[in-house]
């Protein structure tokens, strides 16, 4: 009986799995309209008092997205003040929605990666994931890999779609 050989494992093909870089931790969204008078007006004294009495431990070791769901005109310092409360307990704080936060998290991570191990090699950016990987992150990964990779494909080794090949 002939031995089954995993040709993918033995090839020079490098798999770049964005799921490997997914930052673990709970995600939270804070809509600051809850602390505005009628959801629209920031009364500084009341706002500061509500923040002071809020349980910030709820966000411990989590990623927090700050936003305002109403058409209120909120001064920048209001988000800064909330961030000052969150910074000691949360892993990271972003302005925007949770999907926007996911993109920001990946941007930070992908900016810091060393891509030298992909130098002059064919790379496949893994397509299937169980964790949320926004489309924008695939675009960013492609941009980061293009200067070093010989070629880039998307998907799985058994059904990869060619994306880029260095000339």
Structure tokens at 63: 């990623």
pLDDT of residue 97: 94
* 44-53 helix and 76-86 helix, angle to the nearest 10 degrees: 20
Q: Are 127 and 154 in contact (CB under 8 A)?
A: yes
Ranges of the chain with pLDDT below 70: 3-11
Residue 87's pLDDT is 97
Q: What is the pLDDT of residues 3-43, one digit of tens each?
A: 665 555 556 899 999 999 999 999 999 999 999 999 999 99
Short-list 102, 116, 122, 119, CA closest to 18: 102
pLDDT of 132: 81
pLDDT given for residue 10 in this prediction? 52
Q: What is the pLDDT of residue 24?
A: 92
Contact in structure between 65 and 29 (CB atoms under 8 Å) = yes
Are the CB atoms for 60 and 23 separated by under 8 Å? no
Domain boundaries, the chain: 7-23+114-165, 27-90
């Amino acid at each position: 009986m002939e031995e089954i050989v995993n040709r993918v494992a033995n090839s020079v093909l490098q798999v770049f799995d964005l799921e490997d870089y997914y930052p673990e931790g709970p995600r939270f969204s804070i809509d600051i309209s809850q602390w505005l008078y009628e959801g629209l007006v920031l009364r500084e004294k009341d706002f500061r008092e509500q923040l002071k009495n809020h349980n910030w431990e709820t966000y411990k070791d989590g990623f927090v997205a700050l936003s305002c769901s109403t058409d209120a005109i909120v001064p920048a310092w209001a988000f800064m003040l909330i961030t000052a409360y969150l910074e000691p307990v949360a892993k990271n704080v972003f302005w925007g929605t949770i999907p926007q936060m996911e993109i920001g998290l990946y941007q930070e991570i992908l900016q810091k990666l060393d891509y030298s191990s992909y130098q002059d090699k064919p790379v496949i950016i893994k397509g299937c994931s169980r964790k949320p990987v926004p489309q924008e992150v695939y675009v960013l990964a492609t941009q980061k890999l293009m200067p070093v990779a010989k070629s880039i494909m998307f998907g799985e080794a058994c059904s990869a779609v060619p994306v880029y090949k260095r000339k």
